[in-house]
Amino acid sequence: MGRRNLWLLGEEILYPYDKLHVNRKLEEKTNMEITRCAWVNEDPLYIDYHDKEWGKPLYDDLKLFELLMLEGMQAGLSWYTVLKKREHYRKVFDGFDPHIIAHYDDNKIEELMQDTGIIRNRLKINAIVKNAKVYLDICREEGSFSDYVWSFAGGGPVINEWNTRAEVPATTVQSDSMSKALKKKGMTFVGSTICYAFMQASGMVNDHTMDCFCRK
């Protein structure tokens, strides 16, 4: 039998055939050493979302629509709750295609109300349908949903310099303005707090705290 090369990770000796285990161990060790925003828990799903999505500038019309709709779903709950259901939301809401959602009928609404994989709140489900219609109106009137919502960030991104989670606001003058404008156009579940969470997540504002590795 030929000699097997050894991999050393801390006090653990691993063999090359177990590279997947090595990579996992390195990832776990790295995650423990990295400083992230204080709101992130230990769930790999949440870590991945924070590291790869949250605060990264997003300009795609449809992805922005999806994000805004999902942010609205967390009203009274938490983003973590919604994030765990996001893939199922995408499946049952036709990939968040507003052209399809805008034509949902009562039968579809009732079907969604029976789906345990989403938040079964009739007001929230109806809001997505109504907001899809408003989204299409905005695109016709403004030319781009992305350009429209980004205008509330002054073209952004706005780079903030918060030292702790406690310093990060729940709303701003900009999110107030966005909320007021979207409501005027007919959208619901777009209060200022939801709009600011949307602005944070889509990178219109960078609210990673100064100690977070994403600021390096």
Q: Which residues are catalytic?
A: 49, 71, 79
**For the residues of 101-161, what is the DSSP string, one character each?**
HTT--HHHHHHHHT-TTS---HHHHHHHHHHHHHHHHHHHHHS-HHHHHHGGGTTS-EE--
CB atoms within 10 A of CB 138: 24
Compute the distance between CA of residue 99 and CA of residue 156 in angstroms, rounded to an integer: 28
Three-state SS letters, 48-104: HHHHHCCCCCCCCHHHHHHHHHHHHHCCCCCHHHHHHHHHHHHHHCHHHCHHHHCCC
